[in-house]
Amino acid sequence: MNAINELSFEAAYAELEDLIAKLESGALPLAESVAVFERGRLLAERCQTLLDEAELRVNQLTDDGRVQPL
């Protein structure tokens, strides 16, 4: 498994989808389900952080396309 803080949004989201499918299958033992859930929460946080950063960058764009520093 890759370090979560090094994953791109797309990679983190794809792994999160995979983990959700595993949890929804109900086939994992309890201990493994908890570990998968914990990693999923971290992946969800990573995705949210990356989305927040992207939103901030978009909000900083001026009408002429330049990035305005905060």
69: which residues sit within 8 A by CB, 6+ positions away? 60
Q: What is the pTM of this model?
A: 0.82
* Token pair recorded at residue 53: 């950063």
**Residue 40: which H helix or E strand, with range?**
helix 30-59
pLDDT digits (tens, 9 = 90+) for 19-63: 999 999 999 999 999 999 999 999 999 999 999 998 888 777 777
Element housing 14 (H / E): helix 9-25
Q: Rg of the chain's alpha carbons, rounded to an integer? A: 16
Domain range summary for the chain, segments of one domain joined by +: 4-59
Using pLDDT thresholds of 50, 70 and 90, give the confidence band for residue 68: low
